[in-house]
Amino acid sequence: MAAGPRSRALVASLLAGLGCSSPELTELAYSCDTSPTPSQQTEDGSLCGANDPNIIEPSLPSAMDVCQTLRAEKFASDMSPPDETTLDTARVQQALNDCRGRVVKLEPSESGNAFVTDHLDLVSVTLWIDAGVTLYASRNAELYQKTGSCGVLGVNDSGACKDFISVSGDSPAIVGDGTIDGQGGEPLIGRDYSWWQLSYALREINGSIGNPTMINLLAGTTGFVLYRVTLNNSAKFHVKITSTPADGVCDRPGKGFTVWGITLLTPSKWTNSEGLVLTPSFARNTDGVDPGTTSIATCGVIACNTISTGDDHIAIKGGHWVSDLIIAHNHFGTGHGMSIGSETYGTYKTADGVVHRGVERVWVYDLTIDADSRPVGADAVAADFNGIRIKSDSSRGGLVSDITFQDVCMRDMTNAILISTAYNPLFAGTHYPQFRNLAFHDIRHVSCMGLRQPIVTLNGFNAALRAGPITLDNVVIDNLGPGAVASRHADISLGPRAVNFMPSGEGVSIEDRISEASEPKRCVFPTLPAPQPPAGWLR
């Protein structure tokens, strides 16, 4: 693609004076123009992941597998939430109960395109949501009531509500080209506020509302698949993953769980049905995909997804144990980052008697993170723009080991790379973060529309609990300003290809193994899905 009016050639000048090791990086101009190719397609037109020998795409069930087909009886549009005079909960739940081991398919009909249900239990069954169908979460908070605080303003009760969809059992799946909509921005029935307004009211005290999780996997789940569906507007986290191989053996990536080809866009609309403007910043605590939240998650693949939301795109939670993940060919828009943590203190003993800890063996490759795909919200703060993030502190830290980031492009982040052991400095504890064997290969951050210069932070906890080795190999963060690289108590290895900054700080050791000239990674940012502004809005 020809360089557009916003093309820049900053690299060479920015490299000068930053103490880079020689041989130096080759100058490489980059374009701030967004590729017209949608994020759900590849630039060369091939199927995403088809040429990747590490992973295997799931497939839709065959018609033979379908146990029951339910047809939509309600009609909904972007202009108004679906009617909830009657709900589809009973018939959908009954079908799910009756079809364990097989498939329940939701289809559109001549008069309907929507199902509306409250809490659903999906046990060892596949829910196939067909193209043209949306499964809406009811806006009636009373139907999710768990502790009495569900839907109540100002209550800091993280467990107040049931999930929208609880998943458990062997090989459960949610597939298809349809949509699940949590209606997080729409007013709750009988109330003049939404799930997100409930959450936003606790923002000042960093509180956590107990809104329903869109899809929550329960402990003991094995072989979960989430394939191709679109997820919009969850009231809180979108997908919490707890799933492992049924036989406990990870001999094929994705045997524990697979999330492939989903489009997660939250908020999906510019305004709600009452005209209230919805922004990612307003959709608080709406993490995209979080492995390890409820219990262990191992042997997983998260591939070919598009995620744009109001909190972490992916947050790997090591409060139990997470291991052997491949996160590949994903495109992220707005969000708080490709994150690990903040809980990393987990321990888990497998049947062979081995005790596993925290987060181990994660390979992230072919990832774009683009903050420019849509406005985040006027109230967004710097911490809302993170690229790669490993976060923990002494109240919730533990082992994070053997993590590789490779072929990652980022645009207009505040924290391009953030390895932090001080996620919340207020909390005391003896769960000290231990970050070991972190590798970064072919990483590029470019600045286009961002008003803030990017920051790189590479911190161990203290002189006795150092981070590292941290390998930086062809890592180029454009537009770094003075003092933009902070490091402490870390063992850092540079090379074999050049890096355009030199970490330094108390207790930082540098092993300079740079031996090759290199060219910064070429970055192309696809067109990400974004709600279209109504008339009168410029952007």
**What is the set of active-site residues?**
311, 336
- Report if residue 146 touches other proteins, rule: CB under 8 A: yes
Collapsed DSSP state (helix, strand, coil) of residue 529: coil
CA distance 537 to 78: 18
Burial per residue of 119-146, b for 16 or more beta-carbon CB atoms within 10 angstroms, e otherwise:
bbbbbbbbbbbbebbbbbbbbbbebbbe
In the range 221-240, which residues lie near other proteins by CB under 8 A? 237, 240
Cite the beta strand spans of 189-321 per DSSP E.
215-217, 224-227, 230-232, 239-241, 257-260, 263-265, 289-291, 297-303, 306-308, 314-316
Pick the closer one to other proteins by CB: 222 or 406. 222
Report if residue 139 touches other proteins, rule: CB under 8 A.
no
Interacting positions 501-530 with other proteins (CB under 8 A) = 506-507
Give the type of residue at 344.
T
Contact mark string toward other proteins, 280..319, x via CB under 8 A: ----xx-x--x--xxx---------------xx--x-x-x
Distance between alpha carbon 66 and the CA centroid of its chain, in Å?
Answer: 31
Output the six-digit token pair for 77. 């549009």
- Least distance from C-beta 318 to other proteins, angstroms? 9
In the DSSP assignment, the letter for residue 195 is H
Under the binding rule (CB under 8 A), the answer on residue 407 touching other proteins is no
Q: Which is nearer to other proteins, 212 or 254 (CB)?
A: 212
**DSSP classification of residue 249:** -
Asked if 184 contacts 266 with a C-beta cutoff of 8 angstroms, the reply is yes
Residue 142 found at the interface with other proteins (CB under 8 A):
no
> Does residue number 243 form part of the binding site for other proteins (CB under 8 A)?
no
Residue 392 interacting with other proteins (CB under 8 A): no
Residues in 186-215 that interact with other proteins by CB under 8 A: 205-208, 210
Site for other proteins in 102-131 (CB under 8 A): none
Using the minimum distance from each CB to other proteins, give the nearer residue, 98 or 506. 506
Number of residues lying near other proteins (CB under 8 A): 59
Residue range at the interface with other proteins (CB under 8 A); choices 126-134, 168-176, 227-235, 427-435 = 427-435
Among 26, 59, 86, 156, binds other proteins (CB under 8 A): 156
The CB-of-279 to other proteins minimum distance in angstroms stands at 17
Q: What is the residue type of 84?
A: E
Regarding 343 and contact with other proteins (CB under 8 A), the answer is: yes
User: Per CB under 8 A, which of residues 72..91 are in contact with other proteins?
Assistant: none
Cα–Cα distance, 392 to 432 (Å, whole number): 8
Please report whether residue 395 would count as binding other proteins according to CB under 8 A: yes
Shortest CB 49 distance to other proteins, Å: 28
The CB-of-389 to other proteins minimum distance in angstroms stands at 11
Between 126 and 395, CB nearer to other proteins:
395
In the complex, the smallest distance separating the C-beta of residue 352 from other proteins, rounded to whole angstroms, is: 20
Q: Smallest distance from the beta carbon of 434 to other proteins, in angstroms?
A: 8
Tell me the two tokens of residue 488. 């402490």
Task: For the CB of residue 219, give the shortest distance to other proteins in the complex, in Å.
Answer: 7
The edge-to-edge listing of strands for the beta sheet with 165-168 is 120-123, 165-168, 215-217, 239-241, 289-291, 314-316, 338-341, 386-391, 415-420, 455-459, 485-488
Alpha carbons within 13 angstroms on the beta-carbon side of residue 170 total: 7
Among candidate residues 32, 31, 35, 51, the one with its CA nearest the CA of residue 43: 35
279-270-119 Cα angle (round to 5): 75
Among 394, 414, 415, 500, binds other proteins (CB under 8 A): 394
Q: How far is the CB of 395 from other proteins (least distance, A)?
A: 5
Q: List Cβ neighbours of 414 (8 Å cut-off, separation of 6 or more).
A: 382, 383, 384, 385, 386, 450, 452, 454, 455
- Please give the residues from 456 up to 485 whose contact with other proteins meets the rule CB under 8 A: 461-465
Beta strands 490-494; 114-117: pairing state: unpaired
* Contact between 425 and other proteins per CB under 8 A: yes
Q: Which residues bind other proteins (CB under 8 A)?
A: 146-149, 152, 154-160, 205-208, 210, 219, 237, 240, 284-285, 287, 290, 293-295, 311-312, 315, 317, 319-320, 342-343, 393-396, 420-422, 424-432, 461-465, 488, 506-507
